[in-house]
Amino acid sequence: MPSLYLLSLFNDQILEKRVLRIGQPIDVTGAYGVAVPDGTDVGVPPDVSTLLQAKYDGIKAQYGFFTHVLYDAFQTDGNINTAILTKGLTISPKVGIGFNPPPLSGENFFLSTNQTLVSAPTQILFLYEVFLYEDSDGKSDKFRRQYVPIAPNDPEVQFVVKMSFDGGATQLVGINPGQVTDVPPANQGTDLLVRFDRIGGTKRVYLGSWALLYQ
């Protein structure tokens, strides 16, 4: 089953592993989560670096016809274009990228920095994780934060994914997560840019990571 590893916000120590079920909150107060999809065996990782490497190696193994995987788990903001921050967008390393609903914030998108691929893809499969945070801090209560996974077809998950393999000269629009997509010769290259545009929804949602499998 899918699982959520809870890690300390203070020292990245792995605290526990929880079963991940759509719509069911998990308390993450003082921690952050690393989601691991169903069918991905990460063993007993001693630290966050090992956990992430095992996670994405496992994902690539599930799709054996892809030869490479590139990912950003947002452990830092090093692969985020912080020079272009739209209204309603927040960046929290380890926690993820928060998107306010577009009606409140207008244009609302995330843009990666340029990243170099091993080879020019002819086929890709793109994956990303979205979730909600539910916070409570009543006058007589301690602050509490819960991680709530949401389904890819949830009405709150209204993203248009745009991707360029030639540094922005051309782009593919509307990449569907989990769907194999051919990259036409005119769009091929090794200089990757990824952009998420949020076009709908009513709640603040978080992007936890993305991964590109390619060949």
* CATH number assigned to the domain comprising residue 90: 2.60.120
Residue 201 within a domain: yes
Domain span at residue 179 reads 65-214
| Tokens representing residue 166 in the block | 């030639």
Q: Say whether 201 sits in a helix, a strand or coil.
A: coil
Residue 167 within a domain: yes
Q: Is the pLDDT of residue 76 over 60?
A: yes
Q: Say whether 186 sits in a helix, a strand or coil.
A: helix
d(C-alpha 60, C-alpha 37), whole Å = 12
d(C-alpha 186, C-alpha 166), whole Å = 9
Residue 45 within a domain: no
Residue 14 within a domain: no
Residue 12 within a domain: no
Total count of domains within the chain: 1
d(C-alpha 68, C-alpha 214), whole Å = 5
DSSP one-letter string for 24-58: --EE-TTEEEEEE-TT----S-SSHHHHHHHHHHH
d(C-alpha 102, C-alpha 105), whole Å = 5
Residue 104: per-residue pLDDT: 63
Query: What are the angstrom distances between the C-alpha of 143 and each of 10, 29, 36, 138?
Result: 17, 8, 26, 8
What pLDDT, in 10s, does the model give residues 112-149?
Answer: 999 999 999 999 999 999 999 998 776 777 888 999 99
Residue 28 within a domain: no
Residue 85: per-residue pLDDT: 77
- Is this structure's pTM higher than 0.85? yes
Residue 53 within a domain: no
Q: Is the pLDDT of residue 105 over 60?
A: no
d(C-alpha 172, C-alpha 122), whole Å = 12
User: Whose CA is closest to 176, among 188, 163, 161?
Assistant: 161
Residue 94 within a domain: yes
What pLDDT, in 10s, does the model give residues 189-206?
Answer: 999 999 999 988 999 999
| Tokens representing residue 38 in the block | 């169903």
Q: What is the DSSP letter of 114?
A: P
